[in-house]
Structures are given as C-alpha cells and as structure tokens.
Structure 1
Amino acid sequence: MSPGSDDVRRMLWVSLPDQRARRELYWMSRMPGTRVRAMARQEPVGEVDWIPSTYRRPIKRFVEAGALAWVRGLDEQDPLAHDWVASLELCSLVTGQASAWRRAARAAGSARPLQAVVTWENLPDQPLYRIPPYRQALNSCRDADLLLCMVDAAKDHLLANGFDEELIRVVKPGVDTALFHPAQEPTQEPVVVFASPLAENKGIDRVLQAMRIVRRSIPEARLRVAGRGPLEHLVRAEAEDPRNGVELMGTLDAAGVAEVMRSAAVFTTAPRATWKWTEQLGLAYLEALASGLAIVTTRCGTNDEAVHPPNHLVEDSAEALAEGILHHLADPVRRAEVGVANRRHALTHHDLATQCVAMGAAFSEVEALHRSR
C-alpha cells in the first residue's frame, strides 16, 4: 500500500460520540502528509474535514474504556477514498464498526484501507472485555494493521491479550509547549491549581480535604479549580466562603487552562481507580510539566509514566497529598528548580509537533511493511 496519488495519507477517523477535543483526532491531523476526514458529532479542532454524524446509543453516558454507541453512515463512506481508517480504543463499538467496514472492503478485493487503533488501555484484565459487545469489538481488530499506544503500559496490555508485537508502536502524546509555558517570573504566591474533571475518579474531594490541612500551616494558600463534573457542588460549596481560599474557574479552553497554570505554584490532582479504569498518563500532567509547575498527585495506575521525581507521587490520603503540597509551597527556590526540570522534560519528551511527527513515522513504518509484501 502507498498513500494516495497525491502522496498525502488519507485517513478516515471514526470518533466516539463524546470524544474530547485537542486529543487523538487532533494529533492525527497534525501528522505530516496526512489529511483527515472525521465522522464526529461535534466539529473537530484543527484542519479536519468534518462529516457531521449521529450515533445510536443504548445508554447516554461515556464509558472510560470505550463507548457503547454505533456511528450512523459509516457504510456510506467509500473505502477506496481512504488509505486508513482509525479510531480510539479496542473495545469501543465504533472500532468494531471500522473493523467490519475495512474487512468488507478487503473481501471485495481492495487493499485499502488499512486500520489503526489508538489505545491508552493499561488494564491487562479490563473487565469490559467480558461484556459481549466490547469483547466482539476487541476481537474484531486483532487483524488491525497498527496498534498505536499512548503509554508504555498499553503495549504490555496488548501483549498480555495476545496481540502481535510487530503491529504495536508506542508514541507518547504531546502538549503545545508554545501555549503551555512557564510564567515569565514564577509566582511567589502559594497558589495550587486543579485542572481536571470534577469527578470522583480524579479526586477533587481529596484535594479539597488536603487544602484544608495545607491552610493550617499556610493560611494564605489558595486553590484554583478548573473543570466541571458531578462533584462540582463540593467545590462550589467550598468556594462560597472566601475564607476557604477556593476559586471555581469553571470550564476553560486551552488558553484559559494555560493561563491559570501560569498563575500557580503547584499542580495537584488525586486520581483513584474505578472498577474499569485507572489513570493512564493524564494530559493535565503534561500541561503542568510544560508550564513549569511542581506536581503533587496520588499514585494511580501508570501516571508514573508522566510524573517523575522530584515531583511527588503519594498514597491516596489527604494527609499525604497535603504534605507533598506543603513541601513545594514552603521552598520557592527548590520549587523553581523542579519547574525548570519539568519544562525541560516536556520539551524533550512531549512537544506536540515532535510527537505528531513520531506518530506519522509509526504509520509510515506500517505502510512500508505492506509495500514490501
């Protein structure tokens, strides 16, 4: 297989119904020499040809390891117009659809499209795989051409589930290091920022508990919370009394998150595992690294792939979280050194443009394998 006649890789991306912006689809669109068309409910960010799409959903909620939803209209797309079909997660039902669509094209004698599946999954024994629709989707992409892993643990998960190592590539995600950059002068104010969904699995309740402990030693310490979610009422109640030092920022765009990061001294979150999810990498960590912030978070899943010493990975307790936050707030000189090291790490390992080039190289390697056969 070779890219299209105009030497542009033509990709059809099949989105989950609630797929978040500026993530996987955006990264695909940033790969050199790639033109992406996306079937999606909402208009994508970036240079993407949008196919407005609707979904059939038995239940209206997002499941972390895959969405129980089918996109309408995939069978109307011309396989010969695309070199690749790509989607997110092995057990998402749109991935199962993409597999069937690609398989039908090959049965009709077409070598195109190839199939790529992007995965973050880090649970070798993902319980969703026991549920028939998800298991069928998983098994349907065992003959995918590329399994693109966003974390090292995802490769381990694939190997544990019997996938061919030759088809696996690991490319860590990137962050816009021009948008997310340190403040010109690091703040001397004891400001802590939480920028994640306000949900139990991200631990905003634990962060609020920890900040009460922090304020016993540093009464002027403040917490800025960016996000929305089911636990928003807890933050709102805390923010109603100005003596608590909590500010609810609401939903912010990328520029707003970058600005609030630059206003802070420490980034914190407190993820905890659910029955079907554990922290994988956490893009907010990468944004904090690029912003030159010290990070304090609970140890969960494989977030150690993003958070390295001298940042703090602590046990899931308010006391341990508070101790880590106090360690950084109390020592501005050391905190600044940590920030410089974090910025350097982000530039070296998670620069968006660099990582998108690396993702494109993974696709090119697989294309070369097919040309040689």
Structure 2
Amino acid sequence: MTVGGDAGAARRMLWVSLPDQRARREVYWMSRMPGTQVTALASAAPDGDITWVPSTYRRPIKRFIEAGAFAWVRGLEEQDPTAYDWVTSLELCSLVTGQASRWRRDARARGCRVRQAVVTWENLADQPLYKLPPYKQALDSCRDADLLLCMVDAARDHLLDNGFDDELIQVVKPGVDTQTFHPASAPTDDPTIVFCSPLAPNKGIDTVLAAMPMVRAAIPEARLRVAGRGPLLPLVESAAAQPGSGVEYAGVLDTAGVGAFLREAAVFTTAPRPTWKWTEQLGLAYLEAMASGLPVVTTRCGTNDEAVTPGNSFVDDSPEALAEGLIGIFTDRERRLRLGAENRAHVLAHHDLATQCARMGDAFAAAERRA
C-alpha cells in the first residue's frame, strides 16, 4: 500500500518498525531526508511520504514495550533486497534489528549491496536487556552495521562503552515541526500547567498530580491540563472528577491538537523517573513545549538536560520539589516570559525539523561515501 513516495529518490530505504513504535518519529524523519524513499514494514500506516507494507508481528508475550518488545516482524524475508540500498531499524537490542541484520547478511551473500543503519536513543551503557538472549544476539548482530545514528550525545558514549567502532557513529539530534509548535500570539498569564506525555509511571504523572494541591494552596487559580494515554489514566480521571482539584483531562490529541494545547498554557511539566531498563533520553515533548514558547519544570532524570536548557527548572523527584518549582515559575513573570522566548530560540537554532532531517541525510551520505 502506498502512502506516498518519491519515485526519483536516489536512496531507497527499507524501514523495519517495532510493534509499538510511536508515530511521526524515526521513520518519519527518515522519509524527510532529502533524496530518500522509504518503504516501511509496520502494523499501522506511518505518517509521511512513505510506502507502507502492512505487517503483523510474532509476539509471544507483551512484557516489554518499544525496543524491548519480544516480537519479530512477519514478511521481512519476502522483501526483494535488490529494491533497497539500506535497511534501517530502531535500537540495537530490538529483535527486529536482529532480523534486519540477518536479512542484510543474506542479501550480501547473494551479491546485493544493502547497507544497514540502526537508530538509537539508548543512554545506559549497562542496559540490562543486553545481558538477555535474544536481545544480546540482536546487539551483536549489528556490530558491522554501516551506520549507527544516535539521537542524543549520550547514545554515542553508550556505544563506545559497548565496544562499537567510533567511525560508524554519527550524532544528529531530532527536530520538531516549529510551524506546528509555535508560541501563542500573546503569552497567557493564567497559571495553566500542561502535561502532555504518556500517562505511565516512568513519566511521573502521579508526582505531578500529587504536587497540584500544594501548587493550588499557593496559587488557588492554578490548573493542570493533561493529555495522553497510558496505564495511569484512571488516576488522572479520578483527580479530574474531584471538585476543586484544578485537574482537567483533555484526552488523546493529534499533532495539531498538541500544538494548540501547548499554546493555551503558561508552563510545561513532567516528572520522569528511571526504571530498571530505562532513563529519560531526550524527551520530544520538552522540545515541542519549548518550541511553543513555554518554560519547563521537570525532574532530573537521565539525559533530559540534552533537551531542556539551563535556566529552566530541574528539581528532585518529589511532589514537594515539583510544586516549589512550579510556584517559583508562576511568581516570577519576567523569568517565565524570558525562558519561553529563550526556549523558542533554542529549538529554532538546534532542533528545526527540516534542518535536522537534512543532517540525518548527511550522516547516511557520509556512510555511503565511506563504503
């Protein structure tokens, strides 16, 4: 099924999706690289100028999500390697990356020169999944990949710590659509806080909800507006149902809806905390909020300082610390407006979508020249 495509593209890429891969992220960026035509094996139609091959997955269990999904895509072996220059996937330990490595090796054994790229955000050098077969097998299978494209600086460090060749590594941080995510015509003075992230324990919506009574004790008109889905949705709905909580649930929003949602707020917050196999890597939600001219109040977690610049509020992982940070940003209007403007300028300079996608294309072109 064709979603789109540029028949004259010079680079032909086969993207192998994870079963739970989120929309408008890695494969979308690949499709935005100049001169690149992407065909994606995926369970749902991807956004962008992409040829979609509807795919299902062999998934014995659903214990892990995204890169840790215990799942293999069906139909990869049916793809003609002569139709592609690259096969690309997300994360070194994902089982679909192991499949892509085997498909690439088989193609080369038949004389087809297909290159392999792996996109990674991983910032844990001692990622525990690497110790578990078949995740370790997937990791080792791409040691001879042609390109390891890192979305954060910490991912490069993690690769070097795990013995990967520095020559194969390129770091290009992601971009956001700065036209969709832009400031309101005039910043609001209403003390409205937005949380727009997965409603999961690792993103800390429970901490944000626990902070709200303290925020409202100091600023009675303060509101928390929440958008997203996830296992902690009942917690959000329960808080929203309580009179006087100041909590509102806005549901699940599309990209344009998220942009409008952010423009109605005065500050963005989230409270990530590490899990046994994950810590915050960058956080696209931060970049979208910053592009929208919002200051950020968040907990220190992983490498989220690669997204959130100094001047914004990093606090300890507690409702009390988060509440103090939010109250502080509301009681200093000059700082709040200055941070919003600085955040917008930072994203324009370092995370513009078209610019960063072009830089990703440059990374592929460098690998092609090296080969």
Report the TM-score, using the length of structure 1 for normalisation.
Answer: 0.96
Asked if the contact 1:65/1:121 (under 8 Å) is kept, the reply is no
Question: In 1, Cα distance between the equivalents of 2:9 and 2:252?
Answer: 40
Question: In 2, Cα distance between the equivalents of 1:368 and 1:300?
Answer: 38
Matched, 1:39 2:41: yes
- One of 74, 77, 83 as aligned partner of 1:75: 77
Question: In 2, Cα distance between the equivalents of 1:317 and 1:60?
Answer: 30
Alignment of 1:334-353 (within 5 A): 334-353=335-354
- In structure 2, what is the equivalent of residue 252 of structure 1? 253
What secondary structure sits across from 1:49 in the alignment? strand
Query: What whole-Å deviation, never above 9, does each CA across 1:41-85 have from its counterpart, x for those lacking one?
Result: 000001100000011001135435432111111111111110000
What secondary structure sits across from 2:285 in the alignment? helix
Cα gap change, 1:192 to 1:6, in 2 (>3 Å):
closer
Equivalent AA in structure 2 for residue 217 of structure 1: A
Alignment of 1:1-373 (within 5 A): 8-110=10-112, 112-370=113-371
Q: Give the CA deviation at 1:173.
A: 0.4
Asked if the contact 1:148/1:169 (under 8 Å) is kept, the reply is yes
Q: Give the CA deviation at 1:6.
A: 5.2
Asked if the contact 1:18/1:62 (under 8 Å) is kept, the reply is no
Equivalent AA in structure 1 for residue 109 of structure 2: A
* CA-atom RMSD in angstroms: 1.2
Question: In 2, Cα distance between the equivalents of 1:195 and 1:89?
Answer: 24
Question: Quick check: 26-35 or 228-237, which moved more?
Answer: 228-237
What secondary structure sits across from 1:354 in the alignment? helix
Question: In 1, Cα distance between the equivalents of 2:252 and 2:343?
Answer: 25
Q: Which consecutive unaligned segments of at least 5 residues does structure 2 have?
A: 1-5
Asked if the contact 2:37/2:50 (under 8 Å) is kept, the reply is yes
Cα gap change, 1:299 to 1:350, in 2 (>3 Å):
same
Asked if the contact 1:280/1:303 (under 8 Å) is kept, the reply is yes
Equivalent AA in structure 2 for residue 92 of structure 1: S
What secondary structure sits across from 1:31 in the alignment? coil
Question: In 2, Cα distance between the equivalents of 1:127 and 1:65?
Answer: 13
Equivalent AA in structure 1 for residue 359 of structure 2: A
Equivalent AA in structure 2 for residue 101 of structure 1: W
Question: In 1, Cα distance between the equivalents of 2:243 and 2:174?
Answer: 38
Question: In 2, Cα distance between the equivalents of 1:188 and 1:174?
Answer: 28
Query: What whole-Å deviation, never above 9, does each CA across 1:166-219 have from its counterpart, x for those lacking one?
Result: 000000000000000000000010000000011100000000111111101000
Asked if the contact 1:65/1:276 (under 8 Å) is kept, the reply is no
Query: What whole-Å deviation, never above 9, does each CA across 1:308-332 have from its counterpart, x for those lacking one?
Result: 2210111101111111111111122
Segments of 4+ in structure 1 off by > 6 A?
none
Query: What whole-Å deviation, never above 9, does each CA across 1:138-188 have from its counterpart, x for those lacking one?
Result: 000000000000000000000000000000000000000000000000001
Query: What whole-Å deviation, never above 9, does each CA across 1:27-48 have from its counterpart, x for those lacking one?
Result: 0000000000000000000110
Question: Quick check: 124-133 or 234-243, which moved more?
Answer: 234-243
What secondary structure sits across from 1:297 in the alignment? strand
Equivalent AA in structure 1 for residue 95 of structure 2: L
Equivalent AA in structure 2 for residue 350 of structure 1: H
Report the TM-score, using the length of structure 2 for normalisation.
Answer: 0.97
Asked if the contact 2:20/2:65 (under 8 Å) is kept, the reply is no
Question: In 1, Cα distance between the equivalents of 2:25 and 2:66?
Answer: 15
Asked if the contact 1:64/1:277 (under 8 Å) is kept, the reply is no
Q: Give the CA deviation at 1:7.
A: 5.6
What secondary structure sits across from 1:250 in the alignment? coil
Question: In 2, Cα distance between the equivalents of 1:167 and 1:86?
Answer: 14
Equivalent AA in structure 1 for residue 315 of structure 2: V
Q: Give the CA deviation at 1:109.
A: 2.0
Q: Which consecutive unaligned segments of at least 5 residues does structure 1 have?
A: none
What secondary structure sits across from 1:169 in the alignment? strand
**Identity of counterpart residues, as a percentage?**
71
Query: What whole-Å deviation, never above 9, does each CA across 1:119-151 have from its counterpart, x for those lacking one?
Result: 000000000011111000000000000000000
Equivalent AA in structure 2 for residue 195 of structure 1: C
What secondary structure sits across from 2:268 in the alignment? strand
